Every structure is written in C-alpha cells, then in structure tokens.
Chain A
Amino acid sequence: MDHHMEELAWNAACLRLEDYLRAHAVEPRERLLALTLSILAEAKSAHDKLPGLTPLECTMRIASKKTDTWFSLLAGDPARAARARIAYFAGGRNDLFLEWPLPEDFVASIRSAGIEAGPALEFQSLIRRELDYGAMQDIARETWDRFSWGHVLSAFALWLAIFFAAWGIYLKFFQ
C-alpha cells in the first residue's frame, strides 16, 4: 500500500470511529477528539502486528472491544451488558464513556436501572368450551359430510344432457 492509499485508509478509519463514538452520544468535540486519537494510536500500533486487517477493520475491532468490555464492567455481569448500555444512554453521562474507574453513584444507578418489558409471568390456561350451535350446526355438518364436487358435477352433467336431449327433440320434431 503506498503512502497516499494508506493515508486514505486511515482517514476512512478515523471517520468511521468518529461516527461510532458519536453514536455512543460522545458529543463534545474535545472529548470526541481525545477518544478518537487514543483509539487510533492503539489501532496503529496493533495494525503493525496484524497487517492482514485494513486500518478500518483494525480500528473498529479495537473500538468495539473496548466498548463491550467497558459496558460489561459497568454492568458487573457480561449478561447484563445490553441493559447497562440502555441505562448509560438514558443516564445522560456521556462524559464518562470509556472512562475507568467510574463514580460509584453512576455505577450504582446503571446497575439498579429497572428496564423490564413485562411483569413476572403468572401463566394460566385458557380453556375453550365446546358450544352447541343447535339445529343449524347439524344441518351444516350433514351438508358438508355429504357434499362432494363429484355429485355436483354429475348432477350438472345429467341436467345438461337432459337439456340438450330435449332441445334436440324439439328441433327434430316440433320445428
């Protein structure tokens, strides 16, 4: 990769990283720049060891890993990392993003945030009753049981034959 191409590749990585951090609500420019530069520096040194990756892939892997780790630490349990992420966004403390250690009250507020989509389940069965629909049901059932398209078609064919026979007789003998 020549120097110009490499510069373009790192430029793309930098832009993506900025977008990623802004998607995490890192809005103040100073903070955004500081985080971007720190992760980019880390990515550049890692890229030397992993030349198979593009600068963008390398940078975003590091950013993604850092973020996942930070949310897992914040949640205290990796299984609750997604909920910690929601609580972080709701908490409005974007100045603390990727910082460690964190203020205890912030960590406590994240861990205690109750984000439940439903109360505890208390299952019960709903039992469908058979309903008696009276005589109409019997009539309908008998009709369905006896109904067949074969019968309909044969009856239709029979009446068609009778009609044409009568028509033929009329034409032959009465006209």
Chain B
Amino acid sequence: MKPFCGTDSLKPDVISLRQALFLATGAGITICGILLMVAILRVDGFSVLEWVLLGLFVPLFGQIAFGFTIALWGFLILLAGGDRYQVMRTLPEPPAAGPVGATAIVLPVFNEDPDRTFRGLESMFRSVEATGAGGAFDFFVLSDSNDPDRWVEEETEWLRLCVKCQGFGRIFYRKRRVSLHGKSGNVADFCRRWGKRYQYLLVLDADSVMSGETILRLARVMDANPRAGIVQTSPQIVRGKSVLQRFVQFATRLVGPLFAAGSNFWHLGGGNYWGHNAIIRLKPFIEQCVLPEIPGHTAAARHILSHDTVEAALMHQAGYQVWFAYQEEGSYEEGPPNLTESLKRDRRWCQGNLQHFWFLFAPGTPFTNRIHIFFGLMAYLTAPLLVFFIGLSSWDSHVKQRFAVYVAEPWVPVSGVWTSGVLLALTLTLLFLPKLLGFLHLLPRTKEFGGVTRALLSTVLETLLSVLLAPVLLFFYTKFVVLTLLGLRVTWKTQNRDESSIPFGEALRTFGAPTLCGLAAGAAALVWSPTLLPWLSPVLAGLVLAIPTAMITSSEAVGGWLRKLGLLLIPEEASVPPVLRDLDCPAGEDAMAVSGVMQVAISPEVNALHSSLLRRSRARARHKADHLAGLRKRLIEEGPQGLARRELSALLWDAEAVELLHRDIWLSAEQDLHPWWRHALRHYNENTIRLDRRDFQGL
C-alpha cells in the first residue's frame, strides 16, 4: 500500500468517488426496498393509509440501508488490508523523535467519582512521562462540580496526585464559579484563560484514559498535517462489569471496526467530533468554533447542548479537516453501568441532536457535516416514525387480513406474500449481516476473545441482547423525541448511585410503562388480529420483558459470571494494557472515604488547600459577611444536612469563611456542636484517608 503523504495530498477526486460509491450503494439498497414495498402495497390498489405507510417506510428503510452500507464498505476496506487514506498513516515509521507542539490535556468533570478520575489521570500522566516527551503536555482538571463534597475531594485528589507524581506545574486544577453552558462552556473557559499557551487541546471525559504513546502520536500527526483541525480517535469501551457494559464493550469490538472503517471511507477529512478522546488545533478552534446561538425564543433554547458535531462542522467550514483515527489503539472509555444511566445519556443526546436540525439547512455547512447531522437526527427521529409505522401497518394488515390468508392456507400462492418474504429477508440481512461480517473480521483474532466457540457464542448473545433491548430503546426514544418537541423535560424517578444494579422497585417505576404498553399491544393483537401476534412478538417480547432485562443487564454478578464463562470478552481483558492497570480502588480503601465537607472543616491540610485555591476578596460587604457567619453557625449547629447545597457552596467559595469554619469547629465546646461534628471530630483521625506520606517525600 502506498504511503499517505499528508492530508494536503488528498485529491478531491478521491473524496468525490468515495462519496458517490457510498451514496449509490445506500440509495441502491433503499430503492430495492421501496420497489418491494410498492409491490406489496399495490396488490389491491393504494389507499391513503398505504401512501402514508410508504412515506414512513422510505426514511426507516433508508436508515437501515445506509447503516448497512457503512458496515459493508468498512468490511471491504478491512478485508483489503486497511485504508490508505488514514490520517495516522501520515506519520513516518519508525516514529520521528524531536519536540512536539505544546498540548493541553483537559479533563472536564462534573460530580464524577474523584478517585476514579484521578487514577485515570495518574495513569495517563505516568504513561506520557514514559514516552520521554512529557514536557510538551500539561494536564488540566476543569471542574464544574456543584456537589461541595465532590469539589473538596477533587482538590484533595489533585494535591495527592501532584505530590505523588511530582506533578506541580504540570497537573492543574480549576474550579469554575459559574458553570455556564456545561461542558462546552467549561472548555471555552479554559480556552479563554490559557488557550494562547498551547497549540493543541486534547479533550477527555472523566472516564477517558489514553496511553502516552497515543497522545504523543496524536500531537505528532497534528504537527505533520497543518490542515488537520480535529483528529478524533475511536475510544474502546473497557472495564465492563455489569452485563450491559460487557454487552456494549463486546458490540463495539464486533461491529465497531466495520462502522469506523466505513465512516472514514466516505467522509475522509470531513469527519465528526465526539466531544472527547480527540485532539484539536487550538487557534482555529478558538477563532472559528465559538458556538453560535440557534434560533429560539428563550436564552436556554438558544444554547447548543450537543456541541461536538457543531464544532466539527464549523472547523470543516473554516477549511480545516476533521479526521477519524479509527485504528489508533490506546484510547479508552467506560460505558454506562445500567440501562437507566444509558437512557439518561441518550435523553441528553436526543435533545442535542434534534437541535442540530438548524445546521442541516444553514448555508455554508459542508456536505459531509450535513450527512452527519442528518444521521444524528435520524438516530432518534426514526423511533417515533417506527412506532407509527408499526401501528399503521398492523392496522392495515388487520383490515386486509394479510397474514390470515397466509396462515389459513399457506400452500396457496397469495399475491404479495412472496414479495413480503423477500422484503423481510432483505431487512433482516441488512440488520444482522454486519454482525456476521464483524465476526468474520475478528476470526483471525478469536484467541483474544476467548477462542472461536466463545467468540461465536458471544456474538449470538450480543445479537439476542440487542434484539431484546431494541424495543425498550424504541419506547424511550419515542418518548424523548415527543417530549423534546413539546419543549417538556423528561424526569427520572431514580437517584444517581455508584453501584450499577437496579432494584426491583426502581425497575418497576422506570420500565413499568413499556411493559404495560407491550402487554396492552399484545392483548389488542390477540383480540382483534391473532394472526398478527407472531409477527409483532419480537417487539412485544422486548417491551414485556423490559423490567427483568433492565435488572439483569445492570447486574455485576451476572456480568462477572459471563466473564468467568469467557463470554463477551474483549482483548483488553485477556491482556490489560499498562495504562488501564491500577484504575480500581484497592480493596477496603473505598470504605474509608469521608465527606469532603468534613475534610475541609476539620483537616488543617485540606482546609489550607481549599482556602489557598480560592481567590480572596479585598473587601467584603457587611451583609455578605453576616450572611456567611450565619451559614457557618448553622453548619456547626445543624450539621451539613442542615444546609442546602447552594448554601454550602456559598460558604466554601469564601476563603475567610472556610478558615473561620475550621477554627470554630475545633474551638467549639461539645454541647455547641451538632452530633455529626462531634462524631466527626472523635473519629476523624481514625477514619480519614490520610494522604499517603510515603509518597510525599519528594516535594
């Protein structure tokens, strides 16, 4: 294979040819499906209902067809030994030495587990240092946490890490006072403060981990390709414990490489940005990618929620390329632990993707980005369309007794039945062939997946789980789309918990509605059109079984059992990459975790750390000082539970108040302290995780 001599050498003909091939394949399959559907519907003439059905069928089938097309081209590319036009192939082999552009590695956090976040950061820091080019990389934890406990814990972990790794001056921590515009606002705030100092920005998520070698290669590829604006890696989902996490991590290994290679095939330098595990050229990002407002009648409605796709479009529009380094290893993230958490994330994405509608028609949006935006929209819009289609087609089948004739006299050739069979076979092929192709692709490496038999069983299990989960996702996506279009919020009757398992009560509250829908639809079919029931059963089974599915997929015990059986294994479990080791809290240590507020009030060390990180106001208004004194008094007398989160935050934002709190707690008589503080003082020295002093010797 010829080397790829840099992204500037990419000819427009190549891009046009690939896009024509991709669109022709997808459109060709879609047209086949449409012709088959027309042949079925026209048997006894088109009614209005059937015209509507055809209208719904086109986008639904089109989405399946284009999804399959991406996987098919990806498979063909991988079969041919990989794509010549990959951005990482512009790097020389062996890798060049020498300095690389100054890079800021930013980790925006929002109430995430500080222990896990900083363990990941430590792994990356050590891995970057081991490359010998560590001096070019600075790490920033950009906190938007509004939980006072988390905030203090983050600071403590930051100090621990800096001391342990000699990271002062290289690892930084910034807490934003006003968390404006979420993650995009957090990154924008970084750019405003320190963007001038760096050439590149590597954006991570709190659960992201990247190896030092990969980080260095990404910086080098940016150096080598001045027109590369963003290089997005394909983060591998790892460390799956629950069934859902294991299912997702295996699925991304099974079909992920096909879809990734297929995506790069058609968009080349017009790729998408996923918001994390990607490197960005800072100057054009700051100049061109400040998020615009979208049309809307309120300030909140005008704010873009899902920033990444828009930033990729703006970068591409400004003349820079957005590449997908899909074969670059050493980029990892973790998946949501259970279905509820996964749906919460989907709900945010749904809202964000629907907002992208405005960019679909905006003049100047590059063609490939319009396609990304369209696919993103359709990922959620197809859910209500499919529900509508299933309902209408069931009604149409009932009226026309389509299946009754076939069931009563299957030997009698009925017009349209053969065509229906072909269409069904085509649809199933488009849905499931990518999984077979994915299995064929991983055949040479089945040892890493537990052997041929286990890899095959895992593929079957993954397929069964995806069939079972699809109707539940269909139900919730429909709900999200409808509520978003009506401008309503989706509320969750659940709490954020660290453990993954969903108890029965919570499962019943969250997944009771799809279960009832499934039962009602099944009963209706049984009463009015029993012959239809077998055809609806895959969808109805998923809905009816939503509660046990949610509970089982959230179970770490079942996930562990599957792992013991060697099912849903991934290569990173057989051989753990160095950067992923030591991410778990050692057994027993987590039991000693203490409240951040308690630490800041009692520990002289944490108190000093927290107050020294705050900006001191030169003069304070009298009423503010009185207000804070009142809060301090209440905190001492009523314990942390006596104050609202915003009151605690207000207190913790004032350096003087924090120091006085520490003094007051230690100086107060027993009877003046809330029992919570009495207990805390008595047991502080025994229970607190003290910063490991053995690690501090080097400061």
Contact = CB atoms under 8 A, between A and B. Distances in A.
B575 interface: no
Best-surrounded residue of A117, A124, A126 (most CB of chain B within 10 A): A117
A83 interface: yes
A23 B604 contact: yes
Interface string B275-314: 0000000000010101111110100000000000000000
A61 interface: yes
B411 interface: no
A134 B362 contact: yes
Given A85-B605, A123-B193, A129 B292 contact: yes
Contacts of A89: 604-605, 608, 691, 696
Interface in B140-179: 140, 158-159, 162-163, 168-169, 172-174
Given A85-B605, A117-B172, A133-B295, A56 B669 contact: yes
Contacts of A135: 361
Given A85-B608, A122-B193, A23 B290 contact: no
B193 A115 contact: no
B451 to A, nearest CB: 50
Interface residues of B, number: 60
Contacts of A118: 140, 172-174, 193-194
A91 B696 contact: yes
A20 B682 CA distance: 10
Contact of A116 (B168, B191, B293, B699): B168
Given A19-B682, A86-B605, A114-B168, A134 B194 contact: no
B603 interface: yes
B609 A86 contact: yes
B80 interface: no
B417 interface: no
Contact of B608 (A63, A86, A132): A86
B358 interface: yes
Contacts of A153: none
A114 B138 CA distance: 16
A115 to B, nearest CB: 6
B196 A122 contact: yes
Given A54-B669, A92-B696, A132 B172 contact: no
A87 interface: yes
B111 interface: no
Interface string A127-142: 1111111111100110
Nearest to B192: A126
Contacts of B290: 126-129
A18 B596 CA distance: 22
A135 to B, nearest CB: 7
Interface in A121-168: 121-137, 140-141, 144
Contact of B292 (A56, A86, A114, A131): A131
A109 interface: yes
A24 interface: yes
A119 interface: yes
Given A61-B667, A118-B174, A22 B685 contact: yes
B611 interface: yes
Nearest to B359: A133
B74 interface: no
Contacts of B138: 119
A121 B191 contact: no
Contacts of B363: 132, 134
A89 B669 CA distance: 27
Nearest to A60: B667
B188 A126 contact: yes
Given A86-B608, A109-B699, A128-B292, A23 B685 contact: yes
Contacts of A16: 666, 681
A19 B685 contact: yes
B287 to A, nearest CB: 8
A12 B670 CA distance: 8
A159 to B, nearest CB: 21
Interface string B359-377: 1011110000000000000
A38 B172 CA distance: 41
Contacts of B663: 64
B602 A119 contact: no
Contacts of A131: 292, 362
B362 A132 contact: yes
A126 B286 contact: yes
A73 interface: no
Interface in A79-124: 81-83, 85-87, 89-92, 109, 113-119, 121-124
A22 B683 CA distance: 11
B693 interface: yes
Contacts of A35: none
Contacts of B604: 23-24, 67, 85, 89
Contact of B666 (A54, A60, A87, A119): A60
Given A132-B363, A136-B358, A119 B605 contact: no
Contact of B612 (A82, A136, A140): A82
A141 B302 CA distance: 13
B178 to A, nearest CB: 15
Given A64-B667, A117-B172, A117-B173, A92 B291 contact: no
Interface in A23-41: 23-25
Nearest to B690: A25
Contacts of B357: 136
Contact of B291 (A23, A56, A83, A128): A128
Given A127-B290, A128-B291, A137 B696 contact: no
User: Chain B CB within 10 Å — which of A90, A113, A121, A140 has the most?
Assistant: A90
B174 A117 contact: yes
Nearest to A94: B693
A123 B168 CA distance: 22
Contacts of A60: 666-667
Interface string B682-696: 101100001101001
Contacts of A12: 669-670
Contacts of B172: 116-119
B195 interface: yes
Given A114-B169, A126-B192, A64 B666 contact: yes
A65 to B, nearest CB: 10
B696 to A, nearest CB: 4
A57 interface: yes
B108 to A, nearest CB: 15
Q: Which of B158, B286, B605 has the most CB of A within 10 A?
A: B605
Nearest to B360: A136
A133 to B, nearest CB: 5
B159 A19 contact: no
Contacts of A122: 193-197
Contacts of A67: 604
Contacts of A121: 193-194
Most A CB within 10 A of own CB, among B159, B192, B194, B608? B608
5 contacts: A57-B669, A115-B612, A122-B194, A134-B362, A137-B295
Given A63-B666, A124-B196, 5 more contacts: A82-B612, A91-B699, A92-B693, A124-B195, A129-B290
